[in-house]
Structure 1
């Protein structure tokens, strides 16, 4: 009798141990979700962030979403995030039938924060925001996994967070959709490249364009056809989608998200839905002490900086004193002190551009010039380049991976069919 009782106890102990291992395995599996924080200019000048947000919410069960930060530019605020979460809440019952891992709407609302509303001044940082402070707090959480900071707009809040708490570099990995965002965020970017070159960074200036360049896509998944074939009539988010580009697929920021969904995100040189990248050791910077001409050739996506001499003024450094106009768009110019004034710019594509300065200061008014930007980036080394660390990556330079003049775009477009059809399956979940 004692023998059988002992056997029963041993069996029960083994059963408990196996249950413990199973639960640990489940916990470990749940913990494998990538930790992500989104910094977005949703509601700003480009409506594609709304499309990308819908995509994120439809895959929210695959991530540990720790922050949604509203960053510049335009008139966007965190309310635009909240509006999308409201739509998600309406569709959640349908989504939850297929996965129990979708986060609650209230949990998403609680991590939605307001970041910077304006571009950084010449020094590259300004004051702490709710958003930049949240980046710091999330980065400092105890975890054996990195925090993926996916930047869909201006990089001001990341720059501010790094200024306020540079130690967070040990815990974050940044994937930034650059190009036009770099153009508007040039001062914040310059601060990061100069002061935090050891940041782990993917700077995608052109690769992301492979997400929305059809490039001989099958007819059923072209940007124009996809809405009618897979989105129309599917849920509240599907009903909302038509508001942005009339439903035409763009979602230029989504490559940062699918980068951590597919492939090995710790290896930017490998294959991924979010692109393939190459290490770069410098960030191109050209400084003109005079007006440039079209014969001045610079790398596209590089930092262009013009410095002008003028009167010595009794005003604080970083004061805006003039404007630079390129293609009917305006960039602020700053007083550096000692009669020196400066403005920065970055071309979002290869181009021959013309500029003119506008100011109430006679010496700074009506300065004109041109420049010619070319690919590949980062181009030939220059004396003013910023030297980068071992973990800064950008668009691959192989000629056969360009789409027209868009560097590296084929590393994403080659997977266009796979990721769009995968998304189509999730749209089917919302079909009643």
Structure 2
């Protein structure tokens, strides 16, 4: 009897294995790799070394600034290719470089205008194509930069809102891509979304501690780990700053269907609104807003002979310039999203003398999404964000403890794979 049972188990094992393989999550990554922040390069190397765990359907270059491009994704795959024979000898299910290259697509260069969308790109069209594929599994879109190509895809193909699930690394990315975020929050409130504005910081090593889990990780685990290890030292001198990797970790460990459960990529809570504050800086030069909120400076000036949404003035805040737009009938607007608590002085100026310079101060509270406001974006029942409990803050970073508690496990697990290359 035992012999017959053993033979039966052997017979069905391949089917069970195939079923398990078919249940790999479908993912598409939108990244600003090659732009101003090299943490995406670190996260891309990590993804490639764990490619056996996912059905990767797209690697889209969506650079908001800098020289990011599809070429940079392909360069990372070239590095992976050099180590692939050794890696494959340890894990036969890793994706081959030949499999990955056709999934690399070029998305939008630069930020979207005030509307939040512009023209289709190769990347946005690929998102639509993947989302519409006949598959019972949802497509998880992991956004490592701004939401430009996701917003464009939703604008061009609104039907995909029910087919995709978005895990968005916000915070600074939300600041850069505030117009695309505003478009999605206003027009697609029922999108399945994890908005991670600060929890991701639980994986970032900001300490000078030389132990293997902080500044010493490269020396302890990566040095000598093939071509991948040799390349990793080029980004932040090898210090782990993989702020986008929690989106992958969420898919690797835990239940992706349950954002409120524990996972390596964080734990989140539902929100039914996204903070939006509309400020007339002429009448309210001093204002307080929640961190990560969408702030709209709206005011009046001279009527101009310009089409609606024409760029025509400048907001200078936190040492950076932001494009403002003419809304028609003498009305002006510019959006901004603060990435951390601060007291920020700002100046709004216009070269064509449509209005006099406007100066003011923005005080940013360190609680997201903050107290409800009548001008907030109203969201549906499938939008999650950083946990608000004070016990889950790490310093000023809301929800970061839900990621940091798994940091050692994450880095130990990667160290095991890096050991294959030594």
Question: Alpha-carbon deviations, 1:356-379, whole Å to 9, x = none?
Answer: 123212244522111111122011
1:199 aligns with 2:191: yes
The match for 2:364 is 373
Residue 380 of structure 2: SS of its match in structure 1? coil
The match for 1:4 is none
Residue 131 of structure 1: SS of its match in structure 2? helix
Alpha-carbon spacing, 1:368–1:214, altered in 2? closer, same or farther (3 Å):
closer
**Shift of residue 293, structure 1, vs aligned partner:** 6.0
Residue 143 of structure 1: SS of its match in structure 2? coil
1:304 aligns with 2:270: no
Paired residues of 2:281 and 2:359 also in contact (CA < 8 A): no
Alignment of 1:264-283 (within 5 A): 264-283=255-274
The match for 2:312 is 321
Residue 307 of structure 1: SS of its match in structure 2? strand
The match for 2:159 is 167
Q: Distance in 1 between matches of 2:406 and 2:105?
A: 33
Q: Distance in 1 between matches of 2:70 and 2:237?
A: 23
Alpha-carbon spacing, 1:205–1:351, altered in 2? closer, same or farther (3 Å):
same
Q: Which of 210, 227, 230 is residue 218 of structure 2 equivalent to?
A: 227
The match for 1:330 is 321
The match for 1:342 is 333
Paired residues of 1:268 and 1:276 also in contact (CA < 8 A): yes
The match for 1:10 is none
Q: Distance in 1 between matches of 2:194 and 2:283?
A: 30
Q: Distance in 1 between matches of 2:238 and 2:68?
A: 20
**Shift of residue 335, structure 1, vs aligned partner:** 1.0
Q: Distance in 2 between matches of 1:293 and 1:226?
A: 49
**Shift of residue 102, structure 1, vs aligned partner:** 1.1
TM-score, normalisation: structure 2:
0.95
Q: Which of 270, 278, 284 is residue 275 of structure 2 equivalent to?
A: 284
Q: Distance in 1 between matches of 2:389 and 2:222?
A: 35
**Shift of residue 308, structure 1, vs aligned partner:** 2.2
Q: Distance in 2 between matches of 1:217 and 1:280?
A: 36
**Shift of residue 292, structure 1, vs aligned partner:** 7.2
Residue 334 of structure 1: SS of its match in structure 2? strand
Q: Which of 358, 362, 372 is residue 349 of structure 2 equivalent to?
A: 358
Paired residues of 2:286 and 2:360 also in contact (CA < 8 A): no
Q: Which runs of 5+ in 1 are unaligned?
A: 1-13
The match for 1:127 is 119
1:70 aligns with 2:61: yes
Residue 362 of structure 1: SS of its match in structure 2? coil
Query: After TM superposition, which residue ranges in structure 1, 4 or more long, deviate above 3 angstroms?
Result: 14-23, 213-218, 291-295
Q: Distance in 1 between matches of 2:153 and 2:248?
A: 21
Q: Distance in 2 between matches of 1:48 and 1:18?
A: 45
The match for 2:169 is 177
Question: Alpha-carbon deviations, 1:9-36, whole Å to 9, x = none?
Answer: xxxxx99998874443222111111111
Paired residues of 1:38 and 1:69 also in contact (CA < 8 A): yes
**Shift of residue 169, structure 1, vs aligned partner:** 1.3
Question: Alpha-carbon deviations, 1:85-105, whole Å to 9, x = none?
Answer: 000100100110111111121
Q: Distance in 1 between matches of 2:10 and 2:413?
A: 34
The match for 1:8 is none
1:212 aligns with 2:227: no
Q: Distance in 1 between matches of 2:372 and 2:205?
A: 30
Q: Distance in 2 between matches of 1:216 and 1:265?
A: 33
Residue range with higher mean Cα deviation, 326-335 or 284-293: 284-293
**Shift of residue 330, structure 1, vs aligned partner:** 1.4
Paired residues of 2:124 and 2:152 also in contact (CA < 8 A): yes
Q: Distance in 2 between matches of 1:420 and 1:54?
A: 13
Q: Give the number of aligned pairs.
A: 417
The match for 1:46 is 37
Paired residues of 1:292 and 1:371 also in contact (CA < 8 A): no
Paired residues of 2:314 and 2:321 also in contact (CA < 8 A): yes
TM-score, normalisation: structure 1:
0.93
Question: Alpha-carbon deviations, 1:398-421, whole Å to 9, x = none?
Answer: 001101111000010111111010
Q: Distance in 1 between matches of 2:217 and 2:90?
A: 22
Residue 304 of structure 1: SS of its match in structure 2? strand
Q: Which runs of 5+ in 2 are unaligned?
A: none
The match for 1:5 is none
The match for 1:410 is 401
Could you say which structure has the larger radius of gyration?
1
Residue range with higher mean Cα deviation, 111-120 or 314-323: 314-323
The match for 2:179 is 187
Residue 308 of structure 1: SS of its match in structure 2? strand
Residue 275 of structure 1: SS of its match in structure 2? coil
Q: CA RMSD in A?
A: 1.9
